[in-house]
Amino acid sequence: MKAKSDDLRERIVHLVTVDELSCREAAERMMVGVSTAIRVVRRFKDTGGFAAKPRGGSVSMLDSHEDTLRALVEEDGDATLEEMRETLFERHGVVTSKSAVDRALKRFDLRFKKKAS
């Protein structure tokens, strides 16, 4: 779901704080859900701003282990994702998943190809 515009958020806050409407009344007037109005007003009271929280783009804990992953690929370019995950845990105590290792390798542009036996 797309975040509501800052303009809409500002109008909701204005209706509640200045015009003294309830969140329910402001939601009806602005044609948004009641929970949306409540969250917008709460966020304004907590932060003083209208902006939505950032979405997506989470930072992986593996980002701080880029050099380690590069060394693993250099050391054993034929290792499976599971083997890399296990090595990260054994050598550095990093608890992660195969999919997180795969995404980190792609992010760091560390491509490795399995060779047929």
Residues 42, 10 share a domain: yes
Q: Tokens 């390798």, residue?
A: 105
From first to last of its 117 residues, what are the pLDDT tens digits of the chain? Answer: 677 899 999 999 999 999 999 999 999 999 999 999 999 999 999 999 988 877 766 567 888 888 988 998 888 878 899 999 999 999 989 899 999 999 899 888 887 665 555
Residues 79, 41 share a domain: no
Residues 83, 100 contacting (CB under 8 angstroms): no
Within-domain flag for 112 = no
Q: Can you give the pLDDT at residue 65?
A: 87
Within-domain flag for 56 = no
Q: What is the DSSP letter of 63?
A: G
110's CB contacts (< 8 A; 6+ apart) are 69, 70, 73
Q: Can you give the pLDDT at residue 116?
A: 57
Within-domain flag for 72 = yes
Q: Can you give the pLDDT at residue 115?
A: 58
Residues 36, 69 share a domain: no
Tokens representing residue 43 in the block? 């966020």
| Number of structural domains in the chain | 2
Q: How many CA atoms lie within 13 A of 85 on its CB side?
A: 12
Within-domain flag for 1 = no
State the residue range of the domain holding 96: 61-107
Q: Can you give the pLDDT at residue 62?
A: 86
The 3-state DSSP composition of the chain as helix, strand, coil percent (nearest 5) reads 60, 0, 40
CA distance 93 to 86: 9
